[in-house]
Amino acid sequence: MIKLKIYHDGGDGITQASLEYWKEIKDPKWRIHQVTCSKDSGIFNTEIDCFDDDYNLIVVMLSGLSCGYGGTGPHGLETLLKDIGAPPEVSSKAFYNDVVIYNPRW
């Protein structure tokens, strides 16, 4: 039976807290399926969808990462994207796009 596991930070919108939370919970066995960030999607504006070895879906929701401007939120998204192996041309989109979607298989 496939399970869904959902993780989320405290929802306080602090970039450094979201990055620290990600570092704390991420598992090297997780396979990143997609990262989605939308400037206007509410409190948890960054979603990381992963699968584990048993094909369970892991969803990580982060509140302190954002996109579409030059602030700390987009810098945090850029850091996250680099951390998971996104190429520079993708991670730099954090500053210029209101929606950023990264799928490692594309």
Report the 10 Å Cβ neighbour count for 6: 10
**In the structure, what pLDDT confidence band is assigned to residue 42 with cuts at 50, 70 and 90?**
confident
- What does the pLDDT read at residue 40? 83
**CA 10, CA 28: separation in Å to the nearest integer?**
23
Q: What digits encode the pLDDT tens for the residues 54-85? A: 999 999 999 999 999 999 999 999 999 999 99
- What does the pLDDT read at residue 3? 94
Tell whether the model's pLDDT for residue 48 goes beyond 90: yes
- What does the pLDDT read at residue 106? 75
- What does the pLDDT read at residue 7? 97
Domain extents in the chain: 4-102
- What does the pLDDT read at residue 81? 97
Is residue 73 within 8 A of residue 62, CB to CB? The reply is no
Mean pLDDT lowest among 46-50, 60-64, 65-69, 102-106: 102-106
**CA 19, CA 17: separation in Å to the nearest integer?**
5
Q: What digits encode the pLDDT tens for the residues 2-30? A: 899 999 999 999 999 999 999 999 999 99
Give the residues across from 36 on adjacent strands.
47, 101
